[in-house]
Amino acid sequence: MNEDLLAHKVYMALNKELLRRILIKYFFERGYKESMSGKIYPPSIQDIPTSVPQLAGKIDIQPHIEDVNPMTGLITLGWNLFILGNKRMYLGETSHTSLRDIKNVIQGPCKSNGVRSVEYKSPKRVISFIVDSLAENKAGDLGDITQQSVTSIPGNLGIIDFQGGYFKHNTFVN
Q: How far apart are CA 12 and CA 140, in angstroms?
A: 10
pLDDT band at 102 (very low <50, low <70, confident <90, very high): confident
CA-based radius of gyration for the chain: 19
pLDDT digits (tens, 9 = 90+) for 19-63: 899 999 999 888 887 778 888 888 888 889 888 888 888 999 998
Domain boundaries, the chain: 2-143
Of 70-74, 134-138, 140-144, 156-160, the range with the highest mean pLDDT is 70-74
CB 140 within 8 A of CB 134: yes
CB 30 within 8 A of CB 51: no
Q: How far apart are CA 123 and CA 102, in angstroms?
A: 23
Is the pLDDT assigned to residue 140 strictly greater than 80? no
CB 105 within 8 A of CB 43: yes
pLDDT digits (tens, 9 = 90+) for 51-99: 888 888 899 999 888 888 888 888 888 999 999 888 999 998 888 887 7
